[in-house]
Structure 1
Amino acid sequence: MAQYAIITMTQAERAALWQRRLFEAEAGMTRHLSREHGGQDVADWIQIRSRIFADLPEADTGDPVAWQRVFFRAQALMEQFLVSRYGHAELRLWAQAAAEVHRHVEPDGEDGALGPILRLARQAELYGSDYTLAETGSDHAALRIDHCAIWDYRERARSRGVQLTLARPCDYCTLAGTANIAAKGYTPAFELTGGDGEHGCRWEATAPRPAAPGPAAGREN
């Protein structure tokens, strides 16, 4: 199994991951709304979707900065739409619906429990966070983020006029991260860390233990 010190991605790979994250979040929201609320607010959701997909970069430009802006705008719009109509409790259901999409579109590798941790590490790398892959086993893997740069990007987005609904990004990020790990068949765990103005967290994924063997079948005489 490969060992990882830090994640490296090309510009095209970064843009592709922003696009995948956008797809998972939007498809998850549509899935959640249709399953939990039927035809309610359909017209309003269509209007939000038109704003999400307005002025997209060219698909083949591979500009990660442009796609990052698209993703963050979409995330902010969806958070505002959901919370303003149904409350903060709906965030968990949205995260679970998005994780169902994630299960199908995120490739399964041969890294075991490290796989979903690598996905979180790639997301941390996208924002320029300070992070360490603390454990890289196939049965148990862990990621430590010492400085989460999502907080920094939020403030830059706010200065551009992006309306933020949640008091902190952790309110949805922790739900999405745990749901994605679980969707891939692993047991998730996280802890928020930091202090003195720093925002960090620790993530773990653990493979399920094999079922204990049952009693041996009796021998027929």
Structure 2
Amino acid sequence: MLAQRQPVVLLVEDESAQREVLTYNLEAEGFNVVSAVNGDEALLMVQEEAPDLVLLDWMLPNVSGIEVCRQIKARPETRSIPVIMLSARSEELDRVRGLETGADDYVVKPYSVAELMARLRTQLRRVRPAAAGERLVWQDILLDAAEHRVWRDSQPISLGPTEFRLLTTFMEKPGRVLSREQLLDRVWGRDIYVDTRTVDVHVGRLRKALMKQGGTDPIRTVRGAGYSLG
């Protein structure tokens, strides 16, 4: 069985000691960590890395964490990414401001690492339920991430490990167009070189498996852009 892709967390923190501690704890919990040290770099990495979650410090040089959060939530392609704001500001007005800017959660420093990880996993369950072993449903397709099984119209579907991960990726983002490069990153991993044409081959195999017992093709090809579910 192909291992589940590690969730990617973008850590935005300008203090090196704090960044090292958080990176260590996140990696120990099984997360893939990418980091930025200022707001400009963070906004660039959100576009390039497509993280599953952003852990964002309020006090950053140049562009503040509040402004970074506002821009992430203003863009259609990134607004669904959960943002957890980290701040030494404990006043209620500051919490309200952070949440009204679009932050999905607000954690005051100093904080318990265990509590932070629990809050992080809560947010991830919303956007990557398969990583938590939950069932995904889209129309007549049911995917059980824990048991690694798929049904369509109550009939079991046999999928190879790569096709299973492809379907998982599609079902976690129904309706969203995913480029071949994004699929390569999410299904094969960012550290493995695979030709983009390989994506087309495996999407073809997935389509064939899902339509083996009848039914319409649930995967849409978007010319020049990629693929989407529905």
Does the pair score TM above 0.5? no
Normalising by structure 2, we get a TM-score of 0.30
